[in-house]
């Protein structure tokens, strides 16, 4: 008697994509297309105008941004989940997270680049927490290491204004390692992209006082952007659990192609 492997068992339990699932995939594809939005486009433009000022900074400062980003992602990996317990569990809507991001961005932009750098870890945690909340709404366990690894994968999506923005479907069904080394390895892959995104955010906050308005706007936009990508990522994972990863990925890419 031949015992089927795990993949065969999964294949046997998967249901073919029906009209409802196909409609959900088209909606997710449209959400990804719209993720950048008018506000993100505007911020990308404004950021581009002042980004030269960051390029003129000494290399140690650029390395500092990268290092702060890496540490912020690692810290957020633990802190975001802990903040979902107790009273923090009631603070968990997309709207609330956008408001939290707006407030921290305004405070971070008051003093220009120094306060913006200090605010960067806070902004990262707010975004991570927002992504984790989305994961929970799609049936994921916000306390599990696997779910938080998938949240990190969302941070690895292309940033606002980049040519490769959007969800990397190689991650949504991936069986990610759950060891400390695996977390560090994923952060090493994700951090450079996220650091580039945060550099664009910091570029809009370089002018003291005026940077407060820019910080508020960019944080609102970035929270909104990553929340949208999280809905796509975890929406795909939910569909994949019912219909299989290959079928969902192929249908999703086809839906994206139809919208070009």
10-residue averages of pLDDT along the chain (260 residues): 41 79 94 78 62 61 83 88 59 71 71 80 89 93 89 78 58 65 86 82 70 77 89 93 90 86
Q: Extract the tokens encoding 202.
A: 């910091």
Residue appearing with tokens 């409609």: 23
Q: What would the DSSP string read from start to end of 147-171?
A: HHHHHHHHHTSBPTT-TTBB--HHH
Query: Do 187 and 74 form a contact (C-beta atoms < 8 A)?
Result: yes
Q: What is the pLDDT of residue 57?
A: 58
What's the pTM value of the predicted model, to 2 decimals?
0.81
Check the CA dihedral 183-134-69-35 and report its sign. positive
For 246, the token pair is 């290959």
**d(Cα 75, Cα 183) in Å, to the nearest integer?**
11
- pLDDT at position 8, please? 41
pLDDT computed for residue 252 by the predictor: 92
Give the whole-angstrom CA distance, residue 129 versus residue 132: 5
Distances (CA, A) of 108 to 60, 69, 114, 135: 21, 15, 8, 27
């Amino acid at each position: 008697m031949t015992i089927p492997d795990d993949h065969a068992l999964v294949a046997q339990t998967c249901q073919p994509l029906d009209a409802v699932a196909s409609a959900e995939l088209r909606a997710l594809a449209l959400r990804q297309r719209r993720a950048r939005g008018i506000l993100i486009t505007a911020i990308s433009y404004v950021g581009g105008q002042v980004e030269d000022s960051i390029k003129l900074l000494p290399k140690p400062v650029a390395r500092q941004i990268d290092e702060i980003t890496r540490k912020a992602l690692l810290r957020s990996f633990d802190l975001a989940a802990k903040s979902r317990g107790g009273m923090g569990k009631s603070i968990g809507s997309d709207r609330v997270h956008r408001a939290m991001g707006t407030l921290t961005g305004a405070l971070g932009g008051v003093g220009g680049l120094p306060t913006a750098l200090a605010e960067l870890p806070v902004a990262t945690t707010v975004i991570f927490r927002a992504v984790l909340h989305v994961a929970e709404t799609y049936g994921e366990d916000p306390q599990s290491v696997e779910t938080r690894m998938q949240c990190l994968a969302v941070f690895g999506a292309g940033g606002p204004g980049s040519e490769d923005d959007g969800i990397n479907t190689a991650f949504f069904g991936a069986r990610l390692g759950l060891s400390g080394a695996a977390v560090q390895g994923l952060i090493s892959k994700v951090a450079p992209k996220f650091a580039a995104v945060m550099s664009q955010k910091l570029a809009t906050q370089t002018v003291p006082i005026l940077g407060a308005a820019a910080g508020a706007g960019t944080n609102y936009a970035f929270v909104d952007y990553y929340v949208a990508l999280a809905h796509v990522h975890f929406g795909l994972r939910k569909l994949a659990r019912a219909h299989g990863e290959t079928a969902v990925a192929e249908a999703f890419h086809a839906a994206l192609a139809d919208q070009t």
